[in-house]
Structure 1
Amino acid sequence: MTSSTNSTGSGSTESGGSFRERAIRVVISIVVLVPVTVFLGYGGWIVLTLTASVGLYDPKTDDGEPLRHRLAAWPDRNRDVMRTDGKEPLPLKP
């Protein structure tokens, strides 16, 4: 019985490596993606709040509401859609 190796000859199988290697990749992905997702989700709100508090930049939406207020409410609006199993229309813009 022979096992296939990838082109580098490292001994891992073509299907992605051993269970340990795949588990390590999953853990690393989670450790990297969770902070990035949180920063991108709340990062815009944080930056706009800081710049507005200093008086540098405070963009408004089409209806005159500060964009930072709408960005702060964005995660809750998405959660409401998730709770309805996607039956509620998805808010496409903040």
Structure 2
Amino acid sequence: MKKSQRELPKSVREPLSAFADIRGGVLILGLDGTRGFAATGVHDALKLSNDLAPLCSTDMEPALRPLIRVRDFEDVKLVGAEVPELDPAQRP
């Protein structure tokens, strides 16, 4: 879970990579972990989802192909990325 209001957090690569290296996982932008995972939402969900896709596919090695969705939750928008586990042959 990552708090993200207007842009992708700089640390977003770390959980994406970790999820891919283990059993997969879900990254959710718009939750504040310091406030009990309160739904704070994101400012521009479409922009964040459009920024996240190329980060995963072209800026990470090996490339990731998460399923990225925008969801309404508690009157705010969240961006979720379902990251599949990488095939062991693709791992560095």
- TM-score normalised by length of structure 2: 0.24
More helix by share: 1
More strand by share: 2
